[in-house]
Amino acid sequence: MDRSQTYIRMCRRAAALQKRWVRQYGDAYQDEADRLAFWLHGPETEVKVIADGVCVTCNDNIIHLQRHSWLPRLDQLMELAVIPGERFEQATQHFHRWLKKSYAPLDQLPPTLFATLEQTWLAFVMQRRYGQRWDGRQWIGAHQIGPAPSGDFSGK
């Protein structure tokens, strides 16, 4: 699993992705203190998600509020890449075609821009599902990039 600061920053700033997090036992996340942690709460633990990654827990009659940023595993990213009504094979074919297209606004091929498979699949998911691309610092929408080059991946 990618634990790099780049991947953590990409995940943390992917607001649309963070809203989709359905917490499951073993999910990786980063807490407010920048510690990597794993969701180990079972059904017997009282944990409530109150808003955009903010969780409330109660331990020893003390209430804790903490913001969590989900760090999806590669298999989770691959599942997120599948559009409803599509087969997994179709999503992976789209991914392989996408790898060969110039990635605006950085104008390089995705394999040369992203250091790990998690970073690459996250960029693919964010572009495909949310129309956002990583500019090296943040996710930007297609309207902030300018017109798409001819033959660019549309995700449809």
Residue 23 tokens read as 């917490």
20 φ/ψ angles, rounded to the nearest 5 degrees: -85, -5
| pLDDT tens per residue, range 66-79 | 788 999 999 999 99
Q: For residues 55 and 37, what is the distance between their CA atoms, to the nearest angstrom?
A: 14
Residue 54: pLDDT band with limits 50, 70, 90: low
Q: What percent of the chain shows pLDDT beyond 90?
A: 58
pLDDT at 23: 83
Q: What angle do CA 99, 102, 105 make, to 5 degrees?
A: 125
Per the model's pLDDT, the better-predicted residue between 33 and 77 turns out to be 77
**What distance in Å separates the CA atoms of residue 47 and residue 56, rounded to the nearest whole number?**
6
Distance, in Å, from the CA atom of 43 to the CA atom of 39, rounded to the nearest integer, reads 12
What does pTM read for this prediction? 0.81
